[in-house]
C-alpha cells in the first residue's frame, strides 16, 4: 500500500478572512500561518503547499501584550556599512501596520521556496475593507 499525495488539481484552496480588531498579534499570526501551510487539513503534506488563502483586515487595530508597544524593535539592514535601521513597534504601527502583521506571519512560515509560495497567499489590509468579496472568504473567529 502506498501513501497518497494530493496533486495540483486535488488541492482545494478556500479563502479565510480574519478580523484583527483587538486581537493579539502573535495569536493572529500563528492562526494565519497554520491556514497558509494547510495544517488544518487532513491532506497536509510538509513538502507541498496545500494551504488556503488568508485575508486579514483591521491590521492597524491589532494588540500587543505587555510592554511590546514600547520595547519591541524591528530591525533590517541595507547591506551597506552602518546600514542597520531600527524602528519601534509604536512607530511601526503608526506608519506601516500592515508590515507589522506581515512580518509576524512570515516569521512563522518555512524559510524556503515553499514558504515564499505560502506567503503569496496572504493579503493584509489596515482598514475594514478588502477587494476579495468575489472569492467568498469564510470568517475565522
Residue 74, domain member (yes or no): no
Q: Say what the pLDDT of residue 2 is.
A: 85
Please write the tens of the pLDDT for every residue from 90-134: 999 999 999 999 999 999 999 999 999 999 999 999 999 999 999
Residue 49, domain member (yes or no): yes
Residue 73, domain member (yes or no): no
Residue 35, domain member (yes or no): yes
Residue 75, domain member (yes or no): no
Q: Say what the pLDDT of residue 78 is.
A: 97
Among 45, 46, 29, 36, smallest CA distance to 13 is for 36
Contacts of 85 (CB under 8 A, 6+ apart): 75, 76, 77, 78
Please write the tens of the pLDDT for every residue from 17-59: 999 999 999 999 999 999 999 999 998 999 999 999 999 999 9
Residue 70, domain member (yes or no): no
> Rounded distance, CA 10 to CA 78, Å?
42
Domain that holds residue 34: 15-65+96-128
| Of 8 and 136, the one with more pLDDT | 136
CATH number at residue 110: 3.90.1180.10
- Residue 37 phi/psi, 5-degree rounding, is -80, -25
**Which regions of 9-106 does DSSP assign to beta strands (E)?**
15-19, 53-57, 73-77, 84-88
Residue 91, domain member (yes or no): no
Residue 85, domain member (yes or no): no
**Domain count across the chain:** 1
Contacts of 96 (CB under 8 A, 6+ apart): none
Q: What is the pTM of this model?
A: 0.93
Look up residue 133 and give its three cell numbers: 468579496
Q: Say what the pLDDT of residue 141 is.
A: 81
Look up residue 107 and give its three cell numbers: 516569521
Average pLDDT, stretch 74-81?
97
Amino acid at each position: 500500500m502506498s501513501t497518497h499525495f494530493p496533486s495540483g488539481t486535488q488541492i482545494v484552496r478556500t479563502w479565510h478572512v480574519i478580523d484583527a480588531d483587538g486581537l493579539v498579534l502573535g495569536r493572529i499570526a500563528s492562526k494565519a500561518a497554520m491556514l497558509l501551510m494547510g495544517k488544518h487539513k487532513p491532506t497536509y503534506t510538509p513538502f507541498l503547499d496545500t494551504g488556503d488563502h488568508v485575508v486579514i483586515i483591521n491590521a492597524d487595530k491589532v494588540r500587543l501584550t505587555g510592554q511590546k508597544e514600547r520595547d519591541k524593535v524591528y530591525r533590517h539592514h541595507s547591506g551597506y556599512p552602518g546600514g542597520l535601521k531600527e524602528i519601534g513597534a509604536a512607530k511601526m504601527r503608526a506608519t506601516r501596520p500592515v508590515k507589522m502583521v506581515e512580518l509576524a506571519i512570515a516569521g512563522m512560515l518555512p524559510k524556503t521556496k515553499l514558504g515564499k509560495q505560502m506567503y503569496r497567499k496572504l493579503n493584509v489590509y489596515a482598514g475594514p475593507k478588502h477587494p476579495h468579496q468575489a472569492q467568498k472568504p469564510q470568517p475565522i473567529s
